[in-house]
Chain A
């Protein structure tokens, strides 16, 4: 049952790519995702895959390569980070609106400036409205598992998908990992058989048409439906993956939430640190829990509202800032989810944390829970827009 290994997160994603053997990779290096195309190019050179490896001159071109290849009928992949993802932005929107299920591995990193190469979620959150599916991993294992599920999800709904992990924290740290056997991966992921593709000589086709105002909005509404439909697909593929590996995935992961009175919402590797903080506080009798958001796009609004409806206080943890003088994206979308569900009892606060690689310690999370205890006791949130672990 599975193959025991020790891999970094980047290596794990590159290994998943090798097992899938996609048709085309548009590759351009940027820290901390550089290792992904680097490892993969070795597989190409060794003949372990027959992928067309296209080394391009920029991330804009990397995504353009993927768009052309995917439209032609291929499985296309890329990997990037930080300003590389920013530079792809124009083409990310094209990929999504052309309904091309490209798979992009993102090792999340801060944006300039000040120039910084360490982890936060500013890059991924900056393109959160580009129309891509976005899954986030807590561990190397999850980065690998999410990647194996990515194409099944994206191709089912006709949307591109980002598989995000935390730069350096998981991308470069080596962890124990359980790999899936090659033949099982091949059977699970399957072959890509698009209904329509440019290289089909029996069906002339044009991709990337101009849409006047009488058509544009219908096209966008249909695109929105694909994102809505993706929720069931993510659950279904996550359940099927669980049958194969014993590791089942959904849109969110609830940790100690059954009787929780205070809860965190968190994305990525810091969820692991936060679970340790929850464990320690539980031994002291505190009713605390956390919700890890695996799928940020689509946003699991109903699931989060349901999970939070009985808590007294929650903290949304944003590893980036929207610089709106108000709150980060997880708080904004969580508050909207609660409001839409008619739930107003839980008091919410927002922490901006871990920017540019600022270490997130168990004590950091314990501080958040200490603040939540006060909020729960008094019913007063005070300032909701807060920075964690900043010197003042």
Chain B
């Protein structure tokens, strides 16, 4: 029986879940999808984005990755909870919050 966090998916059966939901490794927040808490999601208009990077540091999670080229990439929806702070911080109106459809 696996004790790895990556195997504790929403499909895990009661026989296979770790006792007490205990966690047996570090850094497991990277493998846990918290994006499914979201009701609104940010959408980037690439034409309006000036790459000023005011959005990336205000993200409370790790949903606005910045590449080695110093430019922000698209949202990481695996972690984005749709808080909207990035949309509020954007001086160019490049980020719009839209209803998330599952």
Contacts and interface: CB of A to CB of B under 8 A. Distances in A.
Interface string A340-379: 0000000000000000000000000000000000000000
Contacts of B67: none
The B interface, classified by DSSP as helix, strand, loop or mixed, is loop
Main secondary structure on A side of the interface with B: loop
Interface string B1-41: 00100001010111101011111111010000000000000
Interface stretch (A54-62, A183-191, A200-208, A227-235): A200-208
B12 A218 contact: yes
A219 B17 CA distance: 7
Given A214-B10, A215-B12, A221-B14, A204 B20 contact: no
A390 interface: no
A209 B3 CA distance: 14
A326 interface: no
Q: How large is the interface on B (under 10, 10 to 19, 20 to 34, 35 or more residues)?
A: 10 to 19
B12 to A, nearest CB: 6
A196 B22 contact: yes
A208 B20 contact: yes
A221 B12 CA distance: 12
Nearest to B16: A218
Nearest to A209: B21
Contacts of A208: 20
A132 to B, nearest CB: 14
A322 interface: no
Pick from A207, A219, A221 the residue with the most CB of B within 10 Å: A219
B7 to A, nearest CB: 12
A99 B21 CA distance: 10
Nearest to A224: B14
B12 A206 contact: no
Contacts of A221: 14
A206 B26 CA distance: 8
A240 B19 CA distance: 27
A167 interface: no
Contact of B24 (A100, A204, A218, A225): A204
Contacts of A210: 21
A209 B23 CA distance: 7
A222 B21 CA distance: 10
B20 A207 contact: yes
A96 to B, nearest CB: 9
Nearest to B37: A212
A361 to B, nearest CB: 46
Given A221-B14, A222-B14, A98 B20 contact: yes
Contacts of B13: 218
Nearest to B24: A205
Given A218-B13, A222-B15, 13 more contacts: A99-B20, A100-B20, A203-B24, A204-B26, A206-B28, A207-B22, A209-B21, A209-B23, A211-B21, A215-B8, A218-B12, A221-B14, A225-B14
CB-based closest 9 A-B pairs: A221-B14, A218-B14, A206-B23, A209-B21, A99-B20, A98-B20, A99-B19, A214-B10, A218-B17
